[in-house]
Amino acid sequence: MRKAVIIGAGMTPVGEHWRLGLRDLAVEALLKAMDDAGIEKVDSLYVGNMISGPFVEQENLGALIADWAGLGNIPAVKIEAACASGGAAVQEGVKAVLSGLEDVVAVVGVEKMTDAWPSDATRYLAYAADAEWELFHGASFVALNALIMRYYMKAYGYTEEDLALFAVNAHANGAKNPYAMFKRPIKVETVLKSPYVADPLKLFDASPVCDGAASVIITTPEKAKELGVPKEKWVEVAGMGRAIDTISLASREDLLTLKAAKVAAERAYKMAGVEAKDIDFFEVHDAFTVMAALSLEALGAAKKGEGAKLAKEGQIAIDADYPIQTMGGLKARGHPVGATGVYQTVEAVLQLRGEAPSQVPDAEIGLTQNIGGTGSNITVNVFRRV
Amino acid sequence: MARPMQVSRYWRHFREKYMLIGGKCENGHVHFPKRSVCPVCGSREIEEIELSGKGKVLSWTIVRNPPSGFEYYKPFPLALVELEEGPVVLTQLTDVDPEEIDFGMEVEVVTKKIREFEEDGIILYGYKFRPPVK
């Protein structure tokens, strides 16, 4: 079977880009990734994006971005899997390379969220929920996660303070990332003093509304050699998995198990031939602090109910056993929804190349996990240093 | 939202939203709303069942920054309610002091206004849950 390697990565800073539109962000990240790989042409483009239609009245992103990036008459499509669109787009790119149909593939994840009114942004994000049975009743995405958070705290006896540790860790790492939206450390009190958005979930338990784009170039080792890309730049896509769960929270068999993450991780681990204990760093989808805890459990880094315990025991820091969110996570780097999975990929590439601003020493294997919906659509990717 | 929704989109669910009609498969698995395929066993033999509308609060939150269209109601309590037949329903709670909501609190269904659209728009009604009226 063919192998897939990432040979180029690029991103824009995450933030409120008032002067840049969706196409500007996407093209900037894409061209940076192509320059990083030292190539001028790609066979196809996969765009990870969640809700460009409502946010900026633009669909057909494949054509828009390929056209404005000057990629010629290549195939180009948008991949949508809610907030997991970026992770899914990376996987579609890898699949195209592994199938042998395409040799050099570009993936770009992009989202432009700050062009909309805040309450409309809240509505658009809730499009990832069940429109007829959740959004109909006024559920925001934050509210759905708050229902999980309260239940999690009750089930295992955790406090708001315990979960705040995930935000503190993310900000500590994000402070060193020049591409992060929030480049300052915070304290537990900062989280606890922030206003409730949906009790018990506070503003600082949540990732921000923001803009950004990230991009990677995928090919085979043979082609990478042929293109003359130095081997230090290669990062292997060793394993990947994707799975869904019920779209509505009310239908979930167990509110506190990210079943889709579990299944996706099993597939990714099997393909890569690794186990959770082999992973040197985890980029989990901490859109909300409780999701970081549930993700660590689903990925096998912690036992059920002990995800938050890892944070309490100081095991999620850069120099600990289970470093997570090494470049700030969704919380501090920012969460431009459809772009996030590609940002995570770019960050994994930087870690495995040894170029990350807060480097995990001797990182060889890294994992990214990207959640769509309230856990309804999840991708897990495993990357390995070549 | 610039324009109100069409009646059709709302009308097709009025039985579920007014009467809590769910589904029960041949093996006795009850779910809400009704599906074509039983989410537990995969059976396609499913009959309609009217749920009692009595249940207990499983988890709850207070929505302080709602999606557009619900600003007028904020803050409002939203909950997962486990019905006595088993299914869980996402619903707003009504006629309740937010401070009194607790795990396991008994609630019952009531038909209430969910939201209105501007001027020529329709008014949406549906289920909410409240502490039982004694």
Tokens of A75: 């195939």
Option in B62, B67, B92 nearest A199 (CB): B62
Catalytic residue, candidates A17, A171, A285, A335: A335
Residue A83 annotated as catalytic: yes
**Sheet order of strands, B30-31 included:** B30-31, B21-25, B46-50
User: Which value does ipTM take for this structure?
Assistant: 0.96
Which whole-number Å values give the CA distances from A366 to A113, A269, A320, B41, in the listed order?
A: 29, 11, 14, 37
Average pLDDT, chain B: 93
Q: How far apart are the first and last CA of chain B?
A: 39
| Helical axes A85-99 vs A340-353, angle rounded to 10° | 60
Q: How far apart are CA A51 and CA A310, in angstroms?
A: 34
Choice among A7-11, A251-255, B5-9 with the minimum mean pLDDT: B5-9
The CA distance from B39 to the nearest CA of chain A, in Å, is: 9
Q: Give the pLDDT score at B118.
A: 78
How many Cβ atoms sit within 10 Å of the Cβ of residue A199?
20
Express as a percent the part of chain B with pLDDT over 90: 80
Q: Give the pLDDT score at B5.
A: 73
Q: Give the pLDDT score at A299.
A: 98
Shortest CA distance to A284 belongs to which of A328, A236, A237, A244? A328
What's the CA angle centered on A108, arms A104 and A111, to 5 degrees? 170
How many Cβ atoms sit within 10 Å of the Cβ of residue A144?
30
Q: Is A140's CB within 8 Å of B67's CB?
A: yes
Q: Give the pLDDT score at B116.
A: 87
Express as a percent the part of chain A with pLDDT over 70: 100
Contacts of A252 in chain B (CB under 8 A): 88
Convert the pLDDT of each residue in A36-52 to its tens digit. Answer: 999 999 999 999 999 99
Q: Give the pLDDT score at A121.
A: 96
The CA distance from B45 to the nearest CA of chain A, in Å, is: 19
Q: Is A120's CB within 8 Å of B68's CB?
A: yes
Structure confidence at residue B60 as a pLDDT band (50, 70, 90): very high
Structure confidence at residue B2 as a pLDDT band (50, 70, 90): low
**Higher per-residue confidence, A332 vs B7:** A332
SS3 assignment, position A156: helix
Residue A286 · residue A331 · CB < 8 Å: yes
How many Cβ atoms sit within 10 Å of the Cβ of residue A74?
16
Which whole-number Å values give the CA distances from A256 to A8, A268, A299, in the listed order?
A: 37, 21, 13
Q: Give the pLDDT score at B1.
A: 47
CA A275 to chain centre: 21
Option in A140, A154, A249 nearest B65 (CB): A140
Is the pLDDT assigned to residue B4 strictly greater than 70? no
Structure confidence at residue B3 as a pLDDT band (50, 70, 90): low
Q: How far apart are CA A141 and CA B67, in angstroms?
A: 9
A362: left (phi over 0), alpha (psi -120 to 50) or beta: left
Q: Is A197's CB within 8 Å of B64's CB?
A: yes
Task: Search chain B and give the residue with CA nearest A122.
Answer: B67
Look up the pTM and report it: 0.97
SS3 assignment, position B49: strand
Contacts of A154 in chain B (CB under 8 A): 59, 103
Mean pLDDT of A339-367: 97
Q: How far apart are CA B37 and CA B123, in angstroms?
A: 31
